[in-house]
Structure 1
Amino acid sequence: MDTRFPFVDWFRNSSPYINAHRGRTFVILIEGEAMANGRGEQLIQDLALLHTLGVRLVVAFGIRPQVSQSLDAAGIVPQRHDGRWVADTAIMSHVERIAAEQRLWLEARLSLGLPNTPLHGVELTAVSGNLVMAKPLGVREGIDFHHSGEVRRVRAPAIQGLLEKGSLVLLPPLGFSSTGEVFDLDAAEVAQQAAVALAADKLILLGDAPGLYDAHGALQRQLTPSEAQPLLASAIPGSESARHLTAACAAARHGVARTHLLSWHDHDALLGELFTRDGVGTMITQHRYEQLRPAELSDVGGLLELLEPLERRGMLVPRSRERLEHEIDDYLVIERDGMVVGCAALHAFGDAAMGELACVAIHADYRGGARGSMLLGEVERRARRMGLTALFVLTTHTAHWFVEHGFGPADIGALPPLRRDTYNHARQSKILVKPLT
């Protein structure tokens, strides 16, 4: 076999992936350490190649080492808490300056089109802007985080419009508020939220480590979020491993099909992961299945775990294991990869032809979708099969959600006599009723 041009065989074998990636949206995070260690040029060349192959690119970038170096030079020691620094006014001035400098550097390198350079002849337009809205972390455990923030929302339509015009979108680790403030954000969170908001095909996190390893030191090629959870639990808060694992698991749970954990140290990692069969890093894939079904006794443990945070916050009345076991036939659950992520109960009052919709709960990692509506729809179908003519709900926190789904306010006299007698006046729950027509 002629091996004078071994790259030809690689090129032939990569053609299915070239075709599969064309027109897809990839969100790529480049940590600041990669730029600080001279890897920026090579990564930009790889980004340009992906662009020429028709991939729609959103690039988030970090600046932590650059800001740390600037703070050291200024003699500023930032206060840190729970893995984040407290971005006061002095620190924020460094964050804003470094973010602007890094963005300008990236835009300049992405514009390089001289002969004998990888970007020669490539018309690549890089665009940034106020594309990420943020809110302050506020005061946590008695510590005011000042300008340290978290993502409120990503302006997905604006980014989609830029991608459709052939632009590469840059997202610095900054967010903006409706009051005109600027907040310091975690770059990994920016990348994850952008991937979810854009329904991206891939989220690619370029960090220090080549991927995730098992207890024997073997690289794990593919994991689900539940399988990666023990690694996340043991990671140091605020470490790159914790931030990347949090982003990867959250993205997978919110519909991003594949998240890739790669090392920027490996010059071939990005292209090797995308255009070879086996890849080079670790891939986190979304859960394999999800189903809405009647609850079983074996679900009681999962229900207790799901409900406990809401009960602790006073959003739900505490339910004992014995009560759940006794009423298990009233419950519906949403199970995802063996985990109970949602539930609702229908308690029937046959004499009044009414049913109580109770214990509607969705796991914090799975909110924002249509799971609550799915549960309500199934409860209504079950109620109609039982001959009930109306549903009622007692709520202290989420009345607006029920109103949006067809419930209307009522007074205690609208309740069935038995439920009226057990109404807890101390909780002052709002009463809402929905006819089943």
Structure 2
Amino acid sequence: MPQPPAFVSWFRQSSPYIHAHRRRTFVIFFGGNAVGEPEFDNLIHDFALLRSLGVRLVLVHGIRQQIDERLAERGDTPKFHHHLRITDATTLQYVKQAAGLVRVEIEALLSMGVSGSPMAGAKIRVASGNFVTARPLGVLDGIDYCYTGKVRRIDNEAIHQQLDQHNVVLISPIGYSPSGEVFNLAAEEVATEVAIALQADKLILLTEQDCLSPDEQRPLPQLTTTQAEELLETHPDFPATLARSLRAAVQSCRQGVQRAHLINRHVDGALLLELFTRDGVGTLVSSTAFETIRPAALDDIAGIMELIKPLEAEGVLVKRSREKLEMRIGDYIVIERDGLIIGCTAFHAMDDGNSAEIACLAVHPDYRRGARGNSLLEYLSAKAKTEAVKRLFVRSTQTVHWFVERGFSPCELGDLPDAMRDGYNYRRNSKLLVKDIV
């Protein structure tokens, strides 16, 4: 258990995410092999916690392992083509059995309320139903998939009605045709189509392993949809199960889902760590970059002030009032990471039209090893070229070497533009540097 100060700090840091996730719709997919494992209880507890925090929760489970077990018990061999099961009439019976068993098992776990357990007082109501209309997949490459189907339509209105009544919606990977037939569906496809139909805020795919860079075997904390597609195209040997989840993430984000997450379910508490900490533990997929450098807006002032306040207290930066920031907000550039301002700087153009001052360059302590200061400086250099600025000036008391290492040279007070020279604070005795833009 964390010490009280650590717990308080963590709880405070998670509060923005608690507020942000309330009344949001999350679709969570997990495979059938997760059900029945000892750690599945913890996952159920985390689902219950999300529900108690006001998240509108849709759970989509798989049943592949349960079907294979029934086939093995009867001496039958599973048949697949392109990672899709060929569902004949006999296998369809196993599909129905597996879906019913897994659904009942999950409903029972979500219904727990034993005093002293994490589920105490949860009182979760679970709604299941014929929310998925399907059609037969048909014959592909000369292979008849029989009762393997494809999602035709999601009854999003019925699902929303259940969510509006504060129910957790549980969906099995089976679909029904208007003629009354039952089809076996790919669970990842069901989860993706449900998320798209609901225009969910998040699609969360619980995977069997971490999503790692194929070349360096390091975690991939975030990917745009374009980067994810390039990764799959250039690495055909990417693990098949992860590739399916990554394709599902890309498809959902391309069709209106705000964000998708790939999370290793074997990491205890990974779901909570991904959703309620700044950096998470999984892989975030989104249509736009998770972290961006952009011009600041008035809404960013509070974030900028929080970022620079410790540096002002240490004397690294000159103190700036809120009013001064508001007046010159158009000069500021920020790095935004998931709604948090983690870096900023200012570009003050001089009246001579040929020079500008770099000011207020700051990066959050937790992110100073990611070359974000360099990124801000590169952004300002590009801005200077665009605006035909020939010289960039800096006043610094404690970061002189950092600027020198990046091409700045010492200069004299007389070299400064008039506005900078007139505003020079002799008490701070700042060092002066300049860089020519070519």
TM range (shorter): 0.5 to 0.7
Whole-angstrom CA distance in 2 between matches of 1:186 and 1:231: 23
Give 1:14-413 correspondences, 5 Å limit.
Answer: 14-233=14-233, 234-235=235-236, 239-287=240-288
CA contact (8 A) 2:86 2:146 kept: yes
Q: Give the conservation status (yes or no) of the 8 Å contact 2:232–2:238.
A: no
Where do 5+ consecutive residues of structure 2 fail to align? 290-438
CA distance in 2, matches of 1:280, 1:245: 16
Shift of 1:39: 2.7
Give, in angstroms, the shift of residue 239 of structure 1.
3.0
8 A contact 1:261–1:282 mirrored in 2: yes
Q: Does the Cα contact within 8 Å between 1:252 and 1:287 map onto a contact in 2?
A: no
**Is the 8 Å Cα contact of residues 46 and 269 (structure 2) preserved in structure 1?**
no
Deviation at 1:211, TM superposition (A): 2.3
Q: Residues 10 and 237 of structure 1: is their aligned pair in 2 closer, same or farther, counting only changes over 3 Å?
A: closer
Instruction: Assess if the C-alpha contact under 8 Å between 2:254 and 2:287 holds in 1.
Output: yes
Name the amino acid aligned to 1:262.
I
Tell whether the 8 Å contact from 1:236 to 1:242 is kept in structure 2 after alignment.
Answer: no
Confirm or deny: 8 A CA contact 1:59 1:170 kept in the other structure. yes
Q: TM-score, normalised by structure 2?
A: 0.63
Task: Report the residue type matching 2:221 in the other structure.
Answer: R
Partner secondary structure for residue 16 of structure 1 = helix
Distance 2:288 2:10 in 1: 32
Question: Which segments of 5 or more consecutive residues in structure 1 lack a partner in the other structure?
Answer: 289-437
Question: Conserved in 2, the CA contact under 8 Å of 1:148 and 1:183?
Answer: yes
Contact 1:27 1:194 in 2 (8 A): yes
Q: 3-state SS of the aligned residue for 2:58? A: strand
How far off its partner does 1:153 sit?
1.2
Cα offset, 1:235, TM superposition: 4.7
- Note the 1:408-427 alignment, pairs <5 A: none
- What amino acid is aligned across from residue 251 of structure 1 in structure 2? S
| Deviation for aligned residue 1:57 | 0.1
- Distance in structure 2 (CA, Å) of the matches to 1:236 and 1:60: 27
Give 1:204 shift.
0.3
AA of the residue aligned to 1:274: L
Cα distance, 1:4 vs. partner?
A: 3.8
Residue 65 of structure 1 deviates from its aligned partner by: 1.2
Aligned residue identity for 1:76:
D
Structure 2: how far apart are the matches of 1:134 and 1:236? 31
Code of the residue aligned with 2:125 in structure 1: it is: T
Deviation string, structure 1 residues 393-414 (Cα, Å, up to 9, x no partner): xxxxxxxxxxxxxxxxxxxxxx
Q: Contact 2:214 / 2:238 at 8 angstroms: preserved in 1?
A: no
- Judging changes above 3 Å, is the alpha-carbon distance between structure 1 residues 107 and 36 closer, same or farther for their aligned structure 2 residues? closer
CA shift at 1:26, angstroms?
Answer: 0.3
- Following superposition, the deviation at residue 117 of structure 1 comes to 1.3
1:28 touches 1:60 (CA, 8 Å); kept in 2? yes
The answer to whether the 8 Å contact 1:253/1:287 transfers is: no
Q: What is the CA–CA distance in structure 1 between the aligned matches of 2:195 and 2:39, rounded to whole Å?
A: 23
Amino acid at match of 1:79: K
The 1:235/1:38 distance shift into structure 2, 3 A limit, reads farther
Superimposed CA distance per residue, residues 126-174 of structure 1 (whole angstroms, 9 cap, x where no aligned partner): 0101001111110111111000011111110000000000000001111
CA contact (8 A) 2:225 2:285 kept: yes
Deviations 1:162-221 (A, max 9, x none): 000000000111111111011111111111111110010000000111224241112111
Shift of the alpha carbon at 1:287?
Answer: 4.3
- Inter-partner Cα distance in structure 1 for 2:59 and 2:238: 24
Quick one: distance in 1 between partners of 2:84 and 2:271?
28
Measure, in 1, the Cα distance between the counterparts of 2:269 and 2:239.
27
**What CA deviation, in whole Å up to 9, does each residue of 1:292-320 have, x standing for no partner?**
xxxxxxxxxxxxxxxxxxxxxxxxxxxxx
| Separation (CA, whole Å) in 1 of partners of 2:238 and 2:99 | 23
Corresponding position of 1:406: none
Distance in structure 2 (CA, Å) of the matches to 1:275 and 1:72: 41
Secondary structure at the residue paired with 1:205?
A: strand
Aligned counterparts of 1:68 and 1:128: Cα–Cα separation in 2: 24
Alpha-carbon RMSD across the aligned residues, in angstroms, is 1.9
Change (3 A) 1:238 1:67: farther
Q: Which amino acid aligns with 1:281?
A: G
The 2-side partners of 1:107 and 1:211 are apart by 30
CA shift, 1:241, in A, is 1.5
CA 1:127 to 1:269, structure 2 compared with 1: closer, same or farther past 3 Å? Answer: same
Give the residue type in structure 2 aligned to 1:249. Answer: V
Structure 1 residue ranges (4+ consecutive) displaced by more than 6 angstroms after TM superposition: none
Q: Contact 1:83 / 1:237 at 8 angstroms: preserved in 2? A: no
Q: Which residue of 2 aligns with 1:329?
A: none
Q: Match of 1:121, SS?
A: coil
Match in the other structure for 2:354: none
